[in-house]
Amino acid sequence: MNKDNAKKGMLRDLILLGIFSCAMIILLLAFPLKQELVIKTSWNFFLEMITILPAVMILMGLFSVWVSKETVVKYLGKKSGLKGMFLSILFGALPTGPLYVAFPMASTMIKKGARISNIVIFLSAWACIKIPQEMVELRFLGFKFMASRLLLTIIFVFLIGWLIEKIMERNRRSCAS
C-alpha cells in the first residue's frame, strides 16, 4: 500500500511539473520580451536551491536521527498546549533563511507526531517573526511599532494555527464518516 501511495504521489508530481512547464512555455512565447528576465531569475533561484538544499537535507537527517518521536510528541504534540505553541514560535523565529527551508523540517515534525497547529505556528513564525528582523524594526520604526506588530502577529499566528487544526480535524471526521 505504501508503494502505491508513493507511485501516486510521484505521478501527481510529474503531472504538476508538466502543467507548470507547459504554462511557462506558453507564457514565454506570449511575452518574448520577458524571456531573458525569466530565464535569469529561474537560473539564480536554481543556483540558490542547489547551494542550500544539501545543507537542509543533512540537517533534516540529523533531526530525524537525534530527535526522538517521543520528544516531539512531548513538546509539540497534541498535549503540548501553550508550551508547544510558544516553542513553535521560538523554533520558527530563531533561524534565518528562506521559508522553503522550513517545509522539510515541518514535514519531519508532522511525521514524528507534532500537532498541526504547532506546525502552522512554526511556519508562520519562520515567515513573519525573525529576531534580526525585530531588531531592524526596533531601530527604524521604534519600540511601539515593533511591539504592536509582534504582539498582533503572535496573536494571529496562534489563531490561524488553531483554526487550521480545527478545519483539518473536521475534514478528517467527515471523510471518515
Confidence bin at 19 (pLDDT 50/70/90): very high
Q: Is the pLDDT of residue 1 over 90?
A: no
Q: Is the pTM of this model over 0.85?
A: no
Of 23-32, 60-69, 149-158, the least confident: 60-69
Helix or strand holding residue 147 (H, E) = helix 143-176
Which comes out higher in pLDDT, residue 95 or 73? 73
Count of structural domains within the chain: 1
Residue 132 placed within a domain: yes
Report yes or no on 119 lying in a domain: yes
For 31-142, where are the alpha helices, taking DSSP H only?
35-66, 69-76, 81-93, 102-111, 116-128, 131-141
Query: Is there a domain that residue 137 lies in?
Result: yes
Minimal CA–CA distance to 60: which of 107, 2, 114, 93?
A: 107
**Domain encompassing residue 147:** 67-177
Residue 131 Cα distances to 10, 137, 160, angstroms = 37, 10, 21
Q: Is residue 116 part of a domain?
A: yes
